[in-house]
Copies of this chain bind each other. A is one copy, B any other.
Amino acid sequence: MAPVPPQPATSPGECSGDRPLRRDAERNRQRILHAAADVFTERGLAATLDDVARQAGVGVGTVYRRFPDKEALVDALFGQRIGALVALGEQALREPDEWAALTWFLEQAGELLAADRGLRQMVMFTTYGRNRSGEARACLKPLITRLITRAQAAGAVRSDLCPTDIPMIEFMLASVAGYAQHTRPEVWRRYLALILDGLRPDRAGTTALPEPALNPDEMQAAMGTAHLGRP
Contacts and interface: CB of A to CB of B under 8 A. Distances in A.
A182 B44 contact: no
A122 B184 CA distance: 20
A140 B206 CA distance: 29
B207 A196 contact: yes
Contacts of A218: 180, 183-184
Stoichiometry, copies per complex: 4
Contacts of A93: none
Interface stretch (A4-12, A131-139, A141-149, A185-193): A185-193
Nearest to A203: B205
Name, among A175, A189, A191, the residue most crowded by chain B CB atoms within 10 Å (CB to CB): A175
Interface in A168-222: 168-169, 171-176, 178-184, 186-187, 189-191, 193-200, 203-214, 218, 221-222
Contact of A175 (B43, B172, B186, B194): B172
A46 interface: yes
B124 A231 contact: no
A225 interface: yes
Given A194-B199, A197-B200, 18 more contacts: A44-B227, A44-B228, A46-B229, A124-B178, A168-B187, A172-B173, A172-B191, A179-B222, A180-B226, A184-B222, A186-B211, A187-B211, A187-B214, A189-B211, A193-B211, A197-B207, A198-B198, A200-B205
